[in-house]
């Protein structure tokens, strides 16, 4: 089913693994933040990135599995789509309620950490249905979803790093 896609999924899976590693580097930058805000913020901001990249790893591994059936791959993809969509809804809700230093977070956070992933996972749900039905376009839809998750996670990690980077006090 994925005979000519091996290199793509090796690169995608490797990129996902690197991005997961980088998120742990981001955690080390947070050593001056209060623990309560770090725990809540990590659930809403870092958690989804790690989840997206874990899903890319799972999908890449499944695509590289020899002789996986279309229906088995559809089931894996469907579970990931449902889980990811639910996580997108949770992120939207949590970010809209979040306040940092009594200030609402930037309006784009709910879009980039919740709505866009939700849209990608809804598309991935359609891809799962395509695999279940043996649609010829399904491998291309999967590749698009994998690339979208990688690009979104790169953007979100950049956003986190730039927000977390220590800034000199205004008086200095």
81 in Cβ contact with 122 (< 8 Å): yes
**Separation between Cα atoms, residue 94 and residue 59, nearest integer Å:** 27
Task: Spell out the per-residue pLDDT of the chain, length 172, in tens.
Answer: 788 899 999 999 999 999 888 877 777 766 666 655 555 566 677 888 889 999 999 999 999 998 899 999 999 999 999 999 999 998 888 877 776 655 567 777 888 988 999 999 999 999 999 999 999 999 999 999 999 999 999 998 888 777 766 555 544 4
pLDDT of residue 164: 64
Residue with tokens 């879009």: 111
pLDDT of residue 67: 87
pLDDT of residue 127: 97
Long-range contacts of 95-103 (CB under 8 A, 24+ apart): 95/44, 98/40, 98/41, 98/44, 100/37, 100/41
- Residue 79 has which token pair? 């579970």
- Residue range 119-128, pLDDT digits in tens: 999 999 999 9
Measured in degrees and rounded to the nearest 5, phi and psi for residue 107 equal -60, -25
**Separation between Cα atoms, residue 130 and residue 144, nearest integer Å:** 14
């Amino acid at each position: 089913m994925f005979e000519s896609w091996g290199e793509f999924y090796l690169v995608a899976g490797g990129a996902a693994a690197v991005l997961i590693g980088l998120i742990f580097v981001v955690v080390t930058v947070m050593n001056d933040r209060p623990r309560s805000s770090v725990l809540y913020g990590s659930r809403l901001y870092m958690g989804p990135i790690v989840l997206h990249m874990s899903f890319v790893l799972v999908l890449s591994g499944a695509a590289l599995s020899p002789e996986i059936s279309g229906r088995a791959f559809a089931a894996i993809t469907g579970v990931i789509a449902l889980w990811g969509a639910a996580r997108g809804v949770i992120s939207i809700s949590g970010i809209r309620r979040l306040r940092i230093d009594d200030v609402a977070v930037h309006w784009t956070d709910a879009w980039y950490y919740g709505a866009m992933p939700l849209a990608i996972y809804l598309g991935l749900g359609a891809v799962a249905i395509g695999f279940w039905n043996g649609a010829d376009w399904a491998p291309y839809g999967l590749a698009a979803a994998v690339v979208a998750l990688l690009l979104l996670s790169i953007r979100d990690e950049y956003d986190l790093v730039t927000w977390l980077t220590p800034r000199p006090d205004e008086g200095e």
